[in-house]
Structure 1
Amino acid sequence: PSVHQCLSEDKWMSAMLGIETKEAVLPSIENKFDFMKCYARAAQTRLEELRSKSDDWFGEITEFFEVSRSRAWVLTRRITHTSHHRGQLTAYLRILGKDLYSTYGPSADTGGLPQNNADVIYRYSSIDELISEEEKGGKRLALPGSGMKRPTERAKE
């Protein structure tokens, strides 16, 4: 998944949005830590470039594969594409019995459902902290689990 994320995001950003990075798209050594560093650098460059664009730029038309769409539309699809793969990886981790930190909100491992006042617990507070801690082997926070309430919105079975 790391190779696909790095390559597809670079293709969408450069070919469809005109956002180029000078850095290598893939790390020279393909391991988890080097992928994180490489992706973080590229993402920071792209974020700075996107922040410099005017509102009009986002409304301009560009090519999205075989159709014409606004840059805002393409960027939204890029975000949903990444979210789709993040969801896949989250499902794989759950199947493997791994605890899940928050992604976009609480998880069953961070307290369950938002309506039950579940916590949002991110493993790291920033990209810098992520890189620093992962370089040392990673930080593991204890997660509270879902407690006494069911971590699902389904009625009792």
Structure 2
Amino acid sequence: MTYDFLIDTYETERLKVLSAWSMFRDEDLKIRPHATDQRGRNAREHMVHQCVGENLWFKNMLGIDVDAPPLPDDDDETRLGFIERYATDSNKRLEELKGREDAWWQAVVSFFDTQRSRAWIMARRIAHTAHHRGQQTTLLRILNRDLHSTYGPTADTGGLMQQEAPVIYAYRDADALLAGERAGGRKTALPPPPNHAVTERG
């Protein structure tokens, strides 16, 4: 169908969200980019925003309700608790999207104070998620954590594309990620870190 690319993109983007979350540690969740500045979200607040925001967009704008609370139980707001909750709910949304015809995607619906097609809203949702994931990977760098690939190579996977550095994802798929994180972490091994800055300017 015409809009399968949006479904495929959402499927890979949900895995990228889960992968980014898996790179944090539980002790990281309350640390802000700047210790005295409350404006910068900590990792826990990013996870809350992703779970609640995506639930609201899908429910109110796309008409897809997974009929579940968007957040883990109060006593399970751990890194793994958020991973489990988002993995379950986003997979249900993915399965719902797979059954939608072109006419559904093309239909114009409410988007805040204006009107947009569902396809447009989905593209904007994916971009919104990627924007916040970029903030989270920056936070991971501030915390001195390793970064597996999101879209391409990173300094931790060997450098730049021009240097033929490999793409190394933390896990091959969502099932492997969930199994690995439940077991305490089984991410793909990374090479030794570089001893120089990774930049196109040399």
* TM-score computed with the length of structure 2 as normaliser: 0.72
Q: Secondary structure at the match of 1:93?
A: helix
Q: Which residue does 2:47 correspond to in 1?
A: 2
1:19 to partner: Cα distance: 0.9
In 1, are the aligned partners of 2:51 and 2:86 still within 8 Å (CA)? yes
Number of residue pairs aligned between Structure 1 and Structure 2: 155
How far apart are the structure 1 equivalents of 2:119 and 2:110?
12
Q: Which residue does 2:87 correspond to in 1?
A: 40
2:69 aligned with 1:21: no
Opposite residue 51 of structure 2, the aligned amino acid is: C
**What does 1:55-94 align with in structure 2 at a 5 Å threshold?**
55-94=102-141
How far apart are the structure 2 equivalents of 1:137 and 1:143?
17
How much identity, in percent, do the aligned residues show? 48
Gaps of 5+ in 1: none
How far apart are the structure 2 equivalents of 1:127 and 1:3?
19
Opposite residue 4 of structure 1, the aligned amino acid is: H
RMSD across aligned C-alpha pairs, in angstroms?
A: 1.7
Q: Which residue does 2:154 correspond to in 1?
A: 107
Opposite residue 83 of structure 2, the aligned amino acid is: M
Q: Which residue does 1:135 correspond to in 2?
A: 182
Moved over 6 A (4+): none
In 2, are the aligned partners of 1:110 and 1:119 still within 8 Å (CA)? yes
* TM-score computed with the length of structure 1 as normaliser: 0.91
1:149 to partner: Cα distance: 8.0
Structure 2 counterpart of 1:12, from 51, 57, 60: 57
1:150 to partner: Cα distance: 5.6
1:43 to partner: Cα distance: 0.7
Gaps of 5+ in 2: 1-45
2:78 aligned with 1:31: yes
Q: Secondary structure at the match of 1:102?
A: coil
